[in-house]
């Protein structure tokens, strides 16, 4: 049985398969087709077809292709979730995903959302998700989400099609130099130019993404995707998933001595210590030290925990700042030292981090290169316990003062609904085991400052601080935790950047609640203009009816205009088994 190729569009007629679209039965030879038969893709006449040579017949006759081998290898490493969009230069890879029952391909409406979802998935679960899209614009659209992963240390695999290698050169359609393009954002970056190197390069990509906590990018040219490959003949490498780094004993002794000599030690828990809340609480109890957190580590322990004071930084409390400033020693656990957290570095710092480059902040730092999970127990074993001395009573008083202020800010009568009141209701209503995703802007500021975390998980765009992160992160959260409530807290500016993928949540039946703080402004920009004494300009937004939009997409929409409507709306939204937008009319004012 032969194959014939259209010289106009490239469509291939297979005599073995026939052509269902033109009611041509399998086994019909090309010469037996009616003279009036036309190409089912472009309408070209039968005379436009030419017999294909045997070497041109690739993936259709192959038992296993390069694409099949790559996708099988991904599944073997437990990478079974892919976000992206199919297209010409990735069809081989996409078809390999289709044939592999272990894989799940979430097709989004914009590649930036794919990359942000993959970044959020790693932040929430520690597992790697992949992006799969085409060369050129598909690859370039990924980069905002990939930069979020780079800046926040999230492991992501970006798998991209590339144009056929023989066409590489100027003026190629959808062709860019992807090796050069992805270089600044990636910890590993390569192209499969030889089929027998495909598995080795994929192993290296997974290894670098895992160990260097960043983006690994692998481009696969279209023609190579379709070539036959026996993966058993390919070279492989092993991926170490969890390196165990323990500080030097002498450095641990030095740190323990400094802690024992301190009169007012304070613990600052950062994102690098997330998951070690119990160990941190035990250390705080032993040395009688208040616990502050960075914004990203908010919720590492419930905020009503007796040793937890709250967030340190621009969204934190004055009490947290006072403790940090008055401490004579700070124990920083996986802290990134961003300008928004503003950790004082003129003090003695016992600094724990897995990234040696971040160690040594300030002149008095005692650097401990190690995993927090392994290092905190070693510190515990070396430090002496101490008497309370009224520390817990001081913490309790500080927390009461701050909570009283938050209660005063939450005006239950103000119309439009005030952001502090929104956060108060959400704090009281969202279940303890919910997963929360937060966008960038005023909504993020109010969440960090006024929302009271219990045992929820949350994800945000940290160092890149990109608008539009919250909603694709919610898609990732619902896939990761299908049995939990997922709440996206976003602003009208941020949601409108990602709202095209609301239909994706509907399509894949991902129930979630999207709370839109709709103030008709780029509210944070308005505040920043005020802070720098600029007149307000170019921040007003003309918004659609977000609730009506939800209904048009096949979800549900609820509009809230008065404070008394909010709690009922959130409770109802959480009871519905579809994606819901709760459009809350608020304002960009501060207090």
CA nearest to 224, candidates 182, 162, 169:
162
* CATH, range 410-585: 3.40.50.970
CA nearest to 443, candidates 542, 349, 522:
522
Instruction: Please tell us whether the domain made up of 249-394 is placed in CATH 3.30.1300.10.
Output: no
> Distances from the Cα of 227 to the Cαs of 26, 63, 458, 528, 553, in angstroms?
25, 10, 43, 55, 40
Q: Do domains 66-233 and 249-394 have the same CATH topology?
A: yes
| Ranges of H-type helices in 332-434 | 372-382, 391-409, 419-429
Q: Is the pLDDT of residue 57 over 60?
A: no
Distance CA 219, CA 169 (A): 16
pLDDT tier, 590 (very low <50, low <70, confident <90, very high otherwise): low
The per-residue b/e assignment along 355-390, b for 16 or more CB within 10 angstroms, e otherwise, is eeebbebeeebbbbbbbbebbbebbbebbeebeeee
Q: pLDDT digits over 119-160, tens only?
A: 999 999 999 999 999 999 999 999 999 999 999 999 999 999
The two beta strands, 329-333 and 435-438, are unpaired
pLDDT for residue 451: 97
The two beta strands, 265-269 and 215-221, are unpaired
Provide the percentage of residues in the chain whose pLDDT is more than 70. 97
Question: Looking at domain 66-233, which of 3.30.565.10, 3.30.365.10, 3.90.199.10, 3.40.50.970 is its CATH number?
Answer: 3.40.50.970
Task: Write out 114-156 in H/E/C secondary structure.
Answer: HHHHHHHHHHHHCCCEEEEECCCHHHHHHHHHHHHHHHHCCCE
How many Cα atoms are found within 13 Å in the side-chain-facing hemisphere of 356?
4
Q: Is the pLDDT of residue 55 over 60?
A: no
Q: Is the pLDDT of residue 448 over 80?
A: yes
What is the distance, to the nearest Å, from the Cα of residue 380 to the centroid of all Cα atoms in its chain?
33
Say what the pTM is: 0.91
Is residue 507 within 8 Å of residue 555, measured between CB atoms?
Answer: no
Per-residue pLDDT averaged across 424-440, rounded?
A: 97
Is residue 88 within 8 Å of residue 222, measured between CB atoms?
Answer: yes
Domain spans of the chain, in order of start:
3-56, 66-233, 249-394, 410-585
pLDDT for residue 239: 76
Per-residue pLDDT averaged across 534-562, rounded?
A: 97
Name the least confident of 73-87, 259-273, 522-536.
Answer: 522-536
More confident residue, 236 or 489: 489
pLDDT tier, 243 (very low <50, low <70, confident <90, very high otherwise): confident
* CATH, range 3-56: 2.20.28.10
Per-residue pLDDT averaged across 331-342, rounded?
A: 94
Dihedrals phi, psi of 106, to nearest 5 degrees: -95, 110
pLDDT for residue 174: 77
Write down the mean pLDDT value for the chain: 94
pLDDT tier, 61 (very low <50, low <70, confident <90, very high otherwise): low
pLDDT tier, 427 (very low <50, low <70, confident <90, very high otherwise): very high
Per-residue pLDDT averaged across 175-193, rounded?
A: 93
Q: Is the pLDDT of residue 58 over 90?
A: no
Is residue 584 within 8 Å of residue 422, measured between CB atoms?
Answer: yes
Per-residue pLDDT averaged across 451-478, rounded?
A: 96
Structure-block tokens of residue 427: 């704090």
pLDDT tier, 282 (very low <50, low <70, confident <90, very high otherwise): very high
pLDDT tier, 240 (very low <50, low <70, confident <90, very high otherwise): confident
Name the least confident of 157-171, 292-306, 421-435, 439-453.
Answer: 157-171
């Amino acid at each position: 049985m032969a194959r014939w190729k259209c010289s106009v569009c490239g469509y291939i007629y297979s005599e073995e398969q026939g052509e269902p679209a033109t009611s041509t039965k399998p086994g019909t030879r090309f010469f037996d087709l009616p003279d009036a038969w036309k190409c089912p893709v472009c309408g070209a006449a039968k005379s436009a077809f030419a017999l294909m040579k045997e070497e041109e017949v690739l993936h259709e006759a192959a038992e296993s292709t390069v694409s099949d081998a790559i996708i099988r290898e991904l599944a073997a490493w437990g990478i079974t979730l892919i976000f992206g969009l199919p297209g010409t230069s990735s069809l081989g890879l996409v078809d390999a995903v289709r044939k592999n029952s272990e894989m799940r391909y979430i097709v989004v409406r914009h590649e930036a959302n794919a990359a942000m979802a993959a970044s959020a998935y790693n932040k929430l679960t520690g597992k790697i998700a992949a992006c799969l899209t085409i060369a050129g614009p598909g690859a370039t659209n990924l980069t905002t989400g990939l930069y979020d992963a780079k800046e926040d240390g999230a492991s992501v695999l970006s798998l991209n099609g590339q144009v056929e290698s023989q066409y590489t050169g100027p003026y190629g359609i959808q062709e860019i130099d992807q090796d050069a393009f992805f270089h600044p954002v990636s910890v590993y970056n390569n192209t499969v130019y030889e089929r027998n190197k495909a598995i080795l390069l994929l192993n290296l990509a997974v290894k670098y993404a895992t160990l260097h906590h960043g983006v690994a990018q692998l481009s696969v040219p279209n023609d190579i995707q379709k070539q036959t490959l026996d993966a058993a003949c390919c070279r492989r490498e092993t991926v170490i998933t969890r390196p165990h780094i323990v500080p030097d004993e002498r450095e641990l002794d030095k740190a323990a001595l400094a802690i024992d000599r301190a009169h007012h030690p304070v613990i600052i828990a950062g994102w690098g210590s997330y998951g070690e809340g119990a160990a941190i609480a035990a250390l705080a109890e032993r040395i009688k030290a208040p616990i502050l957190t960075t914004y990203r580590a908010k919720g590492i322990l419930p905020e009503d925990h007796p040793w937890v004071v709250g967030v340190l930084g621009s969204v934190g409390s004055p009490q947290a700042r006072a403790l940090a400033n008055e401490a004579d020693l700070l124990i920083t656990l996986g802290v990134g030292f961003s300008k928004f957290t503003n950790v004082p570095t003129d003090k003695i710092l016992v600094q724990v981090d897995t990234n040696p480059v971040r160690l040594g902040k300030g002149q008095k730092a005692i650097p401990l290169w190690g995993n927090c999970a392994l290092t905190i127990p070693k510190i515990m074993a070396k430090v002496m316990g101490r008497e309370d001395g009224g520390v817990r009573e001081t913490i309790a008083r500080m927390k009461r003062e701050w909570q009283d202020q938050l209660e005063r800010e939450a005006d239950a009568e103000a119309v439009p609904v005030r952001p502090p009141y929104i956060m108060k209701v959400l704090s009281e209503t969202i279940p303890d085991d919910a997963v929360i995703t937060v966008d960038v802007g005023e909504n993020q500021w109010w969440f960090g400052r006024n929302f009271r975390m219990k045992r929820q998980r949350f994800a945000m765009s940290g160092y890149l601080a990109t608008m539009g992160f919250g909603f694709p992160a919610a898609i990732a959260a619902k896939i990761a935790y299908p049995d939990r409530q997922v709440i996206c807290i976003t602003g009208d500016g941020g949601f409108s950047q990602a709202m095209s993928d609301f239909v994706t949540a509907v399509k894949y039946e991902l129930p979630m609640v999207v709370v839109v703080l709709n103030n008709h402004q780029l509210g944070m920009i308005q505040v920043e203009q005020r802070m720098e004494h600029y007149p307000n300009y170019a921040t007003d937004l003309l918004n659609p009816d977000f609730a009506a939009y939800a209904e048009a997409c096949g979800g549900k929409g609820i509009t809230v205009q008065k404070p008394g409507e909010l709690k009922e709306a959130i409770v109802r939204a959480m009871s519905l088994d579809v994606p819901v937008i709760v459009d809350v009319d608020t304002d960009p004012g501060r207090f």
